[in-house]
Structure 1
Amino acid sequence: MKVSLIQMKVQKTKEESLLAAENGIRQAADAGADFAVLPEMFACPYETSGFPLYAEAEDGESVLRLSAAAKKHQIYLVGGSIPECDKEGRIYNTSFLFGRDGGLLARHRKAHLFDIDIKGGQFFKESAVLTAGDSATVFPTEFGPMGLCICYDIRFPELFRVMVDQGALVVFCPAAFNRTTGPKHWELLFRSRAVDNQIFMVGAAPAADETASYISYGHSIIVSPWGEILSQAGEQETILTEELDLSQVAEVREQLPLLKHRRPELY
């Protein structure tokens, strides 16, 4: 299974970002990718004040454009995330995932909202504007079940165990760590979740933009079930393409049967 991570900058307008995303999806398809993966908030500034301005319904322009791109290129598409507005006016940080026919396979609403205040570092409060999702997300593919989460969700191992219990072999994580948390925890968390659950971890981030109020750490990453980094970007715009040998999941689980050795009666 081949995956391409599209590490792109958020452009000045939503239209420009959508065009950049469509171009990245085309390049991923040209490279033979089965999955194209966009970053968290790929078409919206990562600012709480901007989320209501950019929010769309589930049948809004961004969703329709991503669906059409998946269908055009016959590729699975992890649509990063966008601010999604429901009929009651609640706003979610939502990732829409499309099949090769452009049909919606899954929708994950970020379950854990990014509310932090790090002394001398980053302050951010998603809950001031966003509503938290209420479910884990696993979806079927021709390669087997896959999981989907968003950014801050990666810090909660319980969510990953639920996805693995539902069969996930790979978990996709559109994310946008910053330069405070990224250098300390980005690689550590992706490798930890891969090793904990013996799965492939795939994280797509925006490229760094020095003019933005929130500067992404970038470093889109692909990690094996053994915890090895198969590919990792820097901060610049790029597309990472890597082939995942899914037989490694069963091999690692047989050699080091962590999931069989669990003691649920203790915890």
Structure 2
Amino acid sequence: MKIKVAAVQFEAGVGLKQENRLQMKQWINTIMAEHPDCSIIVFPELVVSGYDCGCHMAALAEEVEGESYRFFSEEARRYGVHIAYGNIERSGQEDRPYNTVWLIGSDGSLLHTYRKIHLTSLEEAYFTPGEALPQSLCQIQHGLCVG
């Protein structure tokens, strides 16, 4: 089985969640128009919030199935493509959220979240580290091996 992956890199504006999501949506539209057989589109770490370290980042945090998840779930369903993206997730410590990557299935379902475990020295003051890697690093979902 062939899996076609599109990796997107762009400079996301810090704190500009709505603008970043719209720019990501444009990338999804372009990729799927040019490569309708694409299996997964991968966006960078903290792409929704913009990458920065500071106490203001906690205010940008979302619930696991929050606004950005719902936005990208709809896009995944519309095109039948898996989408992976980074954002800030609320944690039990209000001032130190998680640096998380969401993986959404082609049916719009949440397949997995990964909370960054090994934070850089700069990130340690602002983010809560994840606790563990998933039990199975490779699970088959809808014919796609993810890990």
Equivalent of 2:41 in 20, 26, 36: 36
Q: 2: distance between equivalents of 1:96 and 1:85?
A: 13
Deviation at 1:69, TM superposition (A): 1.0
Per the alignment, residue 26 of structure 1 pairs with 29
Deviation at 1:64, TM superposition (A): 1.2
Shift in alpha-carbon separation, 1:144–1:20, aligned structure 2, 3 A: closer
Q: 2: distance between equivalents of 1:20 and 1:78?
A: 15
Q: Please, what TM-score do these two structures have when normalized by structure 2?
A: 0.84
CA contact (8 A) 1:82 1:93 kept: yes
Which structure's CA Rg is the greater one? 1
CA contact (8 A) 2:116 2:129 kept: yes
Aligned residue pair count: 137
Q: 2: distance between equivalents of 1:87 and 1:67?
A: 25
Secondary structure, counterpart of 2:118 in structure 1 = coil
Per the alignment, residue 109 of structure 1 pairs with 115
Shift in alpha-carbon separation, 1:102–1:59, aligned structure 2, 3 A: same
- % identity of equivalent residues: 28
Matches within 5 A, 1:159-238: none
Deviation at 1:20, TM superposition (A): 0.5
Q: 1: distance between equivalents of 2:23 and 2:124?
A: 29
Equivalent of 2:18 in 11, 15, 38: 15
* Structure 1 consecutive aligned stretches of length 4 or more whose deviation exceeds 4 Å: none
Deviation at 1:87, TM superposition (A): 4.8
Deviation at 1:76, TM superposition (A): 0.7
CA contact (8 A) 2:8 2:42 kept: yes
Secondary structure, counterpart of 2:65 in structure 1 = coil
Q: 1: distance between equivalents of 2:43 and 2:130?
A: 20
Q: Which runs of 5+ in 1 are unaligned?
A: 116-124, 148-267
Q: 2: distance between equivalents of 1:130 and 1:143?
A: 34
Secondary structure, counterpart of 1:96 in structure 2 = strand
Q: Please, what TM-score do these two structures have when normalized by structure 1?
A: 0.48
Q: 2: distance between equivalents of 1:46 and 1:20?
A: 15
Shift in alpha-carbon separation, 1:142–1:59, aligned structure 2, 3 A: closer
Shift in alpha-carbon separation, 1:142–1:104, aligned structure 2, 3 A: same
RMSD (CA atoms):
1.7
Give yes or no for the alignment of 1:83 onto 2:102.
no
CA contact (8 A) 1:4 1:36 kept: yes
Q: Which runs of 5+ in 2 are unaligned?
A: none
